A = this chain, B = another copy of it.
């Protein structure tokens, strides 16, 4: 586990304490007071944080959340549930699911080293409204 650089740490801390996924320009706005002024500074930190698995990108939302799995070193097997009403996103940690997907072979017998799965529906709260 390597240490984070200054910008990476600032941006990771912000994402980590956020209850919801953050978008790049929302992050930029939030960290401007800490001296990070340009989009590229944000995107570079995000790229690195994704690469080392500290955060994940929610592709369908162009937003970023901290990995909830402390042992997650690499961002190669991710699954999320997304509420289509309130946009709450939760990372799914399910051994059965991850085993199933990591071992999945397509019809040519090909296995994949990486996947991203996004489930959509209503969260508990929104379902009961």
Contact = CB atoms under 8 A, between A and B. Distances in A.
Nearest to A127: B110
A82 to B, nearest CB: 9
A96 B111 CA distance: 16
B114 A121 contact: yes
Interface string A90-129: 1010100100110010111011111111111101100000
Contact of A104 (B84, B97, B106): B97
Given A59-B60, A106-B92, A111 B118 contact: no
**CB-based closest 9 A-B pairs:** A112-B121, A112-B119, A59-B59, A114-B120, A117-B117, A115-B119, A59-B60, A113-B121, A116-B118
6 contacts: A59-B60, A81-B106, A81-B112, A94-B107, A110-B124, A113-B121
